[in-house]
Amino acid sequence: MGNYQKINTLKPEGIESKKAYLIGGGIASLAAAAYLINDGHMNGEKITILEQGNIFGGAMDGIGNPEEGYVARGGREMEEHYECTWDLFSKIPSIEEPHRTVLDEFKELNDIDPNYSNCRVIANRGEKLDFSSLGLEDIHVKQLTKLFLATEDALGKLTVKEFFDASFLETDMWLYWRSMFAFEDWHSVVEMKRYMHRFIHLIPGMTKMDGLLFTKYNQYDSMILPLKKWLELQNVVFENNTKVVDLDIEINLNEKIVKGIHILRNNNNEVIKTTENDLVFVTNGSMTENSTLGNMNTAPVLDRSEGGCWSLWKNIAKKDSSFGRPEVFCSDIDKTKWESYTITAKGTKMKELIEKFAERKIIKNRTVTGGIITIKDSNWLLSVTVNRQPQFKNQPEDTIVLWAYALFPDKKGNFIQKEMSACTGKELLEELLYHFGIDEENMQEYINESIVIPVMMPYITSQFMPRVKGDRPEVVPTGSKNLAFLGQYTEIKNDCVFTVDYSIRSAIIAVYTLLGLKKNPPEIYSSQYDIRVIANAAKTLYSGRPLPAEFIIKKLLSNTSLEGLI
């Protein structure tokens, strides 16, 4: 969104008589509430957020204490051009510095402490591998170029494995890619194409993770909590432990109007009556639905039951084809699950071990590992990261928090001869220590200082499943008068899922469309059309080898304003 679009919207006619109901308490709903207030001029008390759980924030979580251990199911990697995210948080006051915004605080910290990795990948029980290039051959660059130029319609439901030569899946680039973004080779190659377009400007820094941005604390404390507190000050109504099970939708020719919201609260069925004048926003689908926790002595149980958000979307989808096809994303849990775990480590043993691999001291509010360290020869394809410390506001100075995850939870470990999904927190820690080069007789010292909480997530990569047009509903379906969809399972042209920005963009589109506001959402950063970005990305893909026709191009550009392009 250029400055010309950063207008103060006019108050929509009749906004005083409207009510808004937001189903789901994740970042998409919280963002939609903020835009209803800021750009839609709606009074906060007219906005109700309905959440089936007991806490708001969705996948952007973080909770715990040093005695029982901290836990976060995951964390989002962010970058400078999350235009919707920074637009939202440029208006939300920081909790620690109320006279400044969350964006002010965030940018200052990342300017002072820019991210980079000293240890991107290890193998052979602690050997740091060379990560200076992407390890691509000419055939792989050609295939990536072909994907970059292909249309989504032509690609259809092709998977990564079906599109690429088998040797590509053995390259360093695929290792870095899949561990950064949690891609599997059975995931949608269309989504990989969108990632290439969306983040091509970051490819030159891919090995060292240059250009990535991280919050001061976990993302609940750093982003969700200040946003929720601001919404509470605007008198937004938060109702937890309230499960929405269905919507009454009147469909006449080309019009779709929500007339009622069926909820289950305190074991009682209720119906919230709505009119065409009211607004209903639904977060359809969830990456973290049915998450289960383990502990040091117990493995998390894989919950295969149909979660509330998925059953809600299925009930809605039955009413009209424009509401999407949820079964595309939630019907194959063995292809959409993985497991993560959070380590709360007291004392000095783990701290010194991490400092050895990160090649930097753990200092307050400074990056540690600079992103994930991936263990290349791990049977689970295990990755671990230590973000800025402390990760939690109540975290003691003698405690660090690590987060790890793996893409193959059904395989046996290299040290622990059990499937990851069957491992206790203690066993997960032992497997990690083994890969860090710690011998079995020395592991107990680390175990004594640690609390490990594993999390199994059945749907965590469901948004990457192969899809075609119509599988995801438009944010505002054709003919909808008062219904919008939010989150990772909506269709937003040219943007890619598994990002905070996608959810917030869906919220902006929903609010602006349903209220008819004369304002455009922030534009998606179109670096794929910048010849300078493409040239730099191409040089990185070729790892220093001459580009095709490089000599001729340099000769043609000699003594011109484009001479330094290649």
Boundaries of every domain in the chain? 3-61+218-290+302-330+463-514, 102-124+338-457
DSSP letter (8 states) at residue 116: -
Tokens 């992103």 belong to which residue? 371
Task: Give the pLDDT of residue 548.
Answer: 72
Strand partners, 283: 486
Q: Is the pLDDT of residue 202 over 60?
A: yes
Q: By C-alpha distance, which of 432, 456, 460 is closest to 446?
A: 432
Give, for 242, the enclosing helix (H) or strand (E). Answer: strand 242-252
Q: Is the pLDDT of residue 552 over 90?
A: no
Task: Give the pLDDT of residue 544.
Answer: 78
**Banded model confidence at residue 175, pLDDT cuts 50, 70, 90:** very high
Q: By C-alpha distance, which of 533, 545, 536, 553 is closest to 137?
A: 545
DSSP string of 9-34, one letter each residue: PPPPTTGGG--EEEES-SHHHHHHHH
Three-class SS of residue 404?
Answer: strand
Give me the percent of the chain exceeding a pLDDT of 70: 97
The verdict on whether 80 is a catalytic residue reads no
Q: Is 131 exposed, middle or buried (0-12, 13-18, 19+ CB in 10 A)?
A: buried
| Active-site residue (options: 21, 51, 77, 105) | 77
Give, for 238, the enclosing helix (H) or strand (E). Answer: strand 237-239
Tokens 């922030």 belong to which residue? 522
Beta strands in 104-224 (DSSP E): 121-123, 127-128, 212-213
Q: Tell me if 206 sits within 8 A of 133, measured CB to CB.
A: no
Mean pLDDT of the chain: 95
What average pLDDT does the segment 56-70 reach?
Answer: 95
**Cα-Cα-Cα-Cα dihedral of 495, 199, 161, 133, to 10°?**
180
CATH classification for the domain delimited by 3-61+218-290+302-330+463-514, as one of 3.40.50.970, 3.10.110.10, 3.40.50.150, 3.50.50.60 = 3.50.50.60
Gap between the Cα atoms of 131 and 174, Å rounded: 12
What average pLDDT does the segment 551-566 reach?
Answer: 64
Q: By C-alpha distance, which of 76, 74, 75, 64 is closest to 451?
A: 64
Beta strands in 462-535 (DSSP E): 483-486
What average pLDDT does the segment 400-423 reach?
Answer: 97
The verdict on whether 217 is a catalytic residue reads no
Q: Per the structure block, which two tokens stand in for 108?
A: 């200052």
Tokens 């800021």 belong to which residue? 38
Q: Is the pLDDT of residue 557 over 80?
A: no
Gap between the Cα atoms of 360 and 356, Å rounded: 7
Three-class SS of residue 14?
Answer: coil
**Banded model confidence at residue 561, pLDDT cuts 50, 70, 90:** low
Q: Tell me if 70 sits within 8 A of 64, measured CB to CB.
A: yes
| Active-site residue (options: 82, 195, 220, 542) | 195
Give, for 136, the enclosing helix (H) or strand (E). Answer: none
Q: Per the structure block, which two tokens stand in for 282?
A: 């639904």
Q: Tell me if 453 sits within 8 A of 293, measured CB to CB.
A: yes
Task: Give the pLDDT of residue 141.
Answer: 95
Gap between the Cα atoms of 222 and 216, Å rounded: 6
pLDDT digits (tens, 9 = 90+) for 204-221: 999 999 999 999 999 999
CB atoms within 10 A of CB 393: 14
Q: By C-alpha distance, which of 181, 223, 549 is closest to 374?
A: 181
List C-alpha distances in Å: 288 to 61, 282, 402: 10, 16, 20
Angle between helix axes 189-199 and 138-149 (nearest 10 degrees) is 90
- Per DSSP bridges, beta strands 279-283 and 483-486 are parallel
What average pLDDT does the segment 155-174 reach?
Answer: 97
Task: Give the pLDDT of residue 555.
Answer: 64
pLDDT digits (tens, 9 = 90+) for 490-516: 999 999 999 999 999 999 999 999 999
Domain 102-124+338-457: state its class.
alpha beta
CB burial string 522-536: b at 16+ within 10 A, e below:
bebbebbeeeebbbb
What average pLDDT does the segment 312-326 reach?
Answer: 98
pLDDT digits (tens, 9 = 90+) for 327-345: 999 999 999 999 999 999 9
pLDDT digits (tens, 9 = 90+) for 131-164: 999 999 999 999 999 999 999 999 999 999 999 9
pLDDT digits (tens, 9 = 90+) for 260-317: 999 999 889 999 999 999 999 999 999 999 999 999 999 999 999 988 899 999 999 9
Q: CA 457, 48, 8 angle in degrees (round to 5)?
A: 105
Contacts of 380 (CB under 8 A, 6+ apart): 406, 407, 408, 409, 411, 413, 420, 431
pLDDT digits (tens, 9 = 90+) for 223-269: 999 999 999 999 999 999 999 999 999 999 889 999 999 999 988 99
